[in-house]
Amino acid sequence: MIEITWTGAAGLIISNGEHTVCIDPFVTRPGKMDVLFKKLHPDETAIENYTKGLKGNVHAIVVGHTHFDHALDVPVIASRLAGRVFGSTSLESLMEISGLPGRTRVCKYHEHFNLADTISLTMFPSIHGRVFLGRVPYEGEISQDMHLPFKARDYRLGDVYMPRIEIGGISIMHAGSAGCSVKDLAGQKCNVLFMCVPGWKRCPDYTSALLETLQPGIIVPFHYDDFTTPLSPGIKPHKIPFSDMKGFIKQIAYVMPRAEIRIPLPLSPMLFG
Ligand SMILES: [Zn+2]
């Protein structure tokens, strides 16, 4: 059995009990005023609770892109864990200026890694969704001449990946933003597809060609929580306004009538396999 826990935003903990992979760990959840006006600081207590809940060996921390709701907490989490950190050159810069040089494996698109006996990672290219006013927020790169702490807008996008984790015979893909590059996924399939909800209407391929290509048996909509509000385990979170989750579910059920759609609750492990 594989256990997957959604930790808010695009965060997942994927574990077979012995081995664990973390994707986009983000637990600080700064409030709206902080996001708009202040410099952001990782919440050490929230991170302590996160890392002490991890099971077995953590083999990897995987980062799909470097917006703050994906990357803010990565340096502090990585400093407490032994696993390798996988992501973009923008992530490598963030790690360097956080005092963690040499910890990041900068991934080429389509690059494949064996993480442990039964676990592998492939970093497929992807495209960020058009979220605010039809635009991709905070484009560009984090560079090594920047100084922490950053404001939200300084957590620039960097390269965007759609990671695939194979674990215990199950393949899991992570669409941490509502965009995709279907041509880069030709011939790929997965068993479980995690799909970011906000922004889905602005990328028609995302809820049609992507699903027809990957043919997931299980679809898990996530990143639907308002990540400027706190999370409680097992309790429905505040949703991001105007993301039209109902319309999203109707659309994916129409395109993939045989797929199971599982709505995750935060910090509640789901079992697969
Ligand atoms: Zn983003």
Tell me: cis bond preceding 264? Omega within 30 of 0 counts.
no
If you compute the radius of gyration of the chain from its CA atoms, what whole number of angstroms results? 17
Give the three-class secondary structure for 66.
coil
Q: Give the pLDDT of residue 84.
A: 95
Question: Would you say the pTM of this structure is higher than 0.85?
Answer: yes
Sequence-ordered list of residues with C-beta below 8 angstroms from that of 72, at least 6 positions apart, any chain? 26, 28, 30, 40, 42, 155
Residue corresponding to tokens 């664990």:
20
Q: Give the pLDDT of residue 134.
A: 82
Ligand 1 centroid to Cα of residue 222, in Å, is 13
Ligand 1 centroid to Cα of residue 7, in Å, is 16
Over residues 157-183, the mean pLDDT reads 98
Residue 28: which domain range?
Answer: 2-272
- As for how many domains the chain has, the answer is 1
The structure tokens listed for 139 are 């484009």
Q: How many CB atoms lie within 10 A of CB 1?
A: 11
Q: Tell me how far apart the alpha carbons of residues 75 and 97 are, in angstroms, rounded to a whole number.
A: 9
Ligand 1 centroid to Cα of residue 162, in Å, is 12
Q: Give the pLDDT of residue 117.
A: 87
Ligand 1 centroid to Cα of residue 18, in Å, is 30
State pLDDT tens for residues 31-62: 999 999 999 999 999 999 999 999 889 989 99
Ligand 1 centroid to Cα of residue 39, in Å, is 18
Beta bridge partners of 23: 12, 62
Element containing residue 20 per DSSP (H, E): strand 19-23
Residue corresponding to tokens 């696993």:
83
Ligand 1 centroid to Cα of residue 138, in Å, is 8
Ligand 1 centroid to Cα of residue 184, in Å, is 20
- By the 8 A CB rule, do 177 and 126 touch? yes
Ligand 1 centroid to Cα of residue 74, in Å, is 15
Ligand 1 centroid to Cα of residue 35, in Å, is 14
Sequence-ordered list of residues with C-beta below 8 angstroms from that of 266, at least 6 positions apart, any chain? 6, 7, 8, 225, 231, 232, 233, 234, 235, 237
What CATH number did the domain enclosing 28 receive?
A: 3.60.15.10
How many residues in the chain? 273
Ligand 1 centroid to Cα of residue 226, in Å, is 13
Ligand 1 centroid to Cα of residue 37, in Å, is 18
Ligand 1 centroid to Cα of residue 28, in Å, is 16
Q: Give the pLDDT of residue 204.
A: 95
CA neighbor of 44 nearest in space, from 73, 84, 22, 24: 73
Ligand 1 centroid to Cα of residue 206, in Å, is 15
The pocket of ion ligand 1, defined by CB under 5 A, consists of 67, 177
* DSSP3 helix / strand / coil % (the chain, rounded to 5): 25, 25, 50
Give the three-class secondary structure for 76.
helix
**Mean pLDDT for the chain overall:** 96
Ligand 1 centroid to Cα of residue 70, in Å, is 7
State pLDDT tens for residues 224-272: 999 999 999 999 999 998 899 999 999 999 999 999 999 999 999 999 9
- By the 8 A CB rule, do 216 and 191 touch? yes
